[in-house]
Amino acid sequence: MIAIIDYGLGNLFSLQSSLKEIGCDVMVTRDPGEIKAADRLILPGVGAYRDAVRLLKKDGIGELVKSQAAEGKPLMGICLGMQLLFQKGFEYGEYEGLGLIPGEVRDIRERIPENLKVPHIGWNELILKDNNHPLMKGLKDGDFVYFVHSYSAVTPEENIIAATEYGAELTAAVARGNVTGCQFHPEKSGQVGMKILRNFAEM
């Protein structure tokens, strides 16, 4: 069973529909018992880092996610959910994330040319950094996925399994042990996204 964690932000039901389409047992929940009983966890997210941090603290959901990851349960963050896996984010101030992957989440305008639009919205190519990682199984350089973001993770190279080019090389997917994340939306990324979700379900 895959539990999509409902902490108040995220494309919960489109993600749930995509997982059901590939034959996964999946539920949307914020119930601690159901989260603990699940085989895998997905932390989604759409919106601002500041708001997400506040919501994760409510009812101890963030601490529960951290403890489940510490026990070795596969966890995938998506979009803002991926950003929350890091130590800090700097959207509307400075806020502590879950600290599951070393690094910070910073405004992409610090790195990209001024003429490029922010947020970065649309289809963009993947640059694979670790073809052998289970989450990237069956993917290739140049596969397109769908992004909507203004902030990007800055993390040591060993944590990056895919990047994308948008005026600069930006982090697209990360992994550290049983914790993984995608800056893009697999549930909006056609067959490539479905493959990634299937890979996660098989990890």
Which are the catalytic amino acids? 79, 185, 187
Please provide the DSSP assignment of the chain as one string: -EEEE-SS-S-HHHHHHHHHHTT--EEEE--HHHHHH-SEEEE---S-HHHHHHHHHGGGHHHHHHHHHHTT--EEEETHHHHTTEEEE-SSS-EE---SEEEEEEEGGGTS-TTS-SSEEEEEE-EES-TTSGGGTT--TT-EEEEEESEEEE--GGGEEEEEESSSEEEEEEEETTEEEESS-GGGSHHHHHHHHHHHHH-
pLDDT in tens, the chain (203 residues): 999 999 988 778 899 999 999 999 999 999 999 999 999 999 998 889 999 999 999 889 999 999 999 999 999 999 999 999 999 999 999 999 999 999 999 999 999 999 999 999 999 999 999 989 999 999 999 999 999 999 999 999 999 999 999 999 999 999 999 999 999 999 999 999 999 999 999 99
**What pTM does this model have?**
0.96
Domain with residue 104: its CATH number is 3.40.50.880
Residue 124, pLDDT score: 98
| Domain around 141 | 2-202
Residue 9, pLDDT score: 80
Look at the chain and report how many structural domains it folds into: 1
